[in-house]
Structure 1
Amino acid sequence: MEYLKSSISLKRYNHSVNVSATAVKLAEFYGCDSEKAGITGMVHDCARELDWPLLMDCLAKEDIFVDDLTLGIKELLHGPAAVHICRRVFGIEDEEILSAVRYHTTGRENMSLLEKIIYLSDFIEPSRSYEGVEEMRGLAFKNLDRALLLAFNLSIEYIISKNGLLHVNTILSRNCILKELQEI
């Protein structure tokens, strides 16, 4: 993880440590592979602080398709771009880990358990402080999908409050989780 320490800020590194620890706890609670969760939590933001040309280079080297909306929003682009770093720098070839890294910013329809855990851990790790985070933390170990629904709702509300563009994956993710909860 020396590469990670040297390529991101201390604040981002500490965030990654917190996401990793939170993901391990959630994985153990929900019966997911905790080693995969810990690794994914550590590397999920490895491309977060790269500049635009490097992000684009990562995508090109992996031949990763991203939609036009993702291409226009750096905060979304680092997930898909991180797949290249995970493969080439960290030697990660596990598709479940790579998918969780790729979609940790938007979610996606029919998320795997690991994808759900990473998405939520990014929202609720201990250094996060915003209205609704305590409720989400409380739900996280009671009902993962209810906590995820709250995370998606808060994310969508925040993006709308900033007059930002909503990614279709976020809407599809939210709707998929909502349908799953209604079927229970």
Structure 2
Amino acid sequence: METSKALRIVKPHLTSARYEHTERVMETAVHLAKLYGSNEEKAAIAAVFHDYAKYRNLDEMKKWILSSYLPKDLLHYHHELWHGPVGSLLVEREHGIIDPEIKDAIYYHTTGRAHMSTLEKVLFVADYIEPGRSFSGLEEVRDTANRNLDKAAWLVSRNTIQFLMGKENTIYPDTFHAYNDLTNKLSGGN
């Protein structure tokens, strides 16, 4: 699928601000894919569709979780986590995107997971560092992303865990698994 077609598909499903975010994530993901030898076309498509389900009705997303292969434990965590897995399912069902690398990048773009592929890390980091974002600690991640993708993904995981703990929110296990896996990788543990 061409990027221009993908952008036309997602635009009606997003707010104007979210669409602009999506364009910036796409540009950032393509930059990182080029830098780290990942497929740039796949990075662009995964980035365009990463928030495809973000504004779906919560009851609809819950129905998709309950009636599909998606893990039911998602329902025990904040609904902000649902749009990645549901989006991964919907891009296949509604648009025929079956590439497992693209679907996994969409699925895990919010939580991360252990043993992320390069494409998954590219989208995970790109969504966090795109130029429209502004919050404490972001510049460190942006600088690191241009030197070491694993370290940047580790920083995203660490910062996300710290942020959620500071708000006393639950944290989906995949985020801990991503952090632990990347910690071991960076320290030479595996």
TM range (shorter): over 0.9
| Contact 2:38–2:118, Cα closer than 8 Å, also in 1 | yes
| Structure 1: tracts of 5 or more residues without a match | none
Task: Give matches, 1:28-177, under 5 Å.
Answer: 28-60=34-66, 63-68=68-73, 70-72=74-76, 73-177=78-182
Q: Cα gap change, 1:2/1:15 in structure 2, threshold over 3 Å: closer, same or farther?
A: same
| 1:14 is the counterpart of 2:14 | no
Q: Contact 1:124/1:137 (CA < 8 Å) preserved in 2?
A: yes
Report the CA distance between 1:60 and its aligned residue: 4.8
Q: Residue deviations 1:91-114, cap 9 Å, x none?
A: 211011001111111111101000
Q: Determine if contact 2:65/2:72 at 8 Å carries over to the other structure.
A: no
**Contact 1:58 1:82 (C-alpha < 8 Å) held by counterparts:** no
Q: Aligned to 1:183, what secondary structure does the other structure show?
A: coil
Secondary structure at the counterpart of residue 82 of structure 2 = helix
Q: Tell me the amino acid that sits aligned with residue 164 of structure 1.
A: N
Matched AA of 2:51 = D
CA distance in 2, matches of 1:51, 1:179: 38
Aligned residues: 182
The CA distance in 2 between the partners of 1:146 and 1:67, in whole Å, is 31
Q: Please, what TM-score do these two structures have when normalized by structure 2?
A: 0.91
Shift of 1:37: 0.2
Gaps of 5+ in 2: 1-6
Q: Quote the Cα distance in structure 2 between the aligned partners of 1:89 and 1:11.
A: 23
Output one character per residue of 1:6-39: Cα deviation in whole Å (capped at 9) or x when no partner: 1111111111111111000000000000000001
Q: What is the one-letter code of the residue matched to 2:75?
A: L
- State the 1:135 CA deviation: 1.0
SS of 1:89's equivalent in the other structure is helix
Q: What is the TM-score normalised by the length of structure 1?
A: 0.94
Q: State the superposition RMSD in angstroms.
A: 1.4
Instruction: Determine helix, strand or coil for the equivalent of 1:58.
Output: helix
In 1, the alpha carbon distance for the partners of 2:12 and 2:44 equals 19
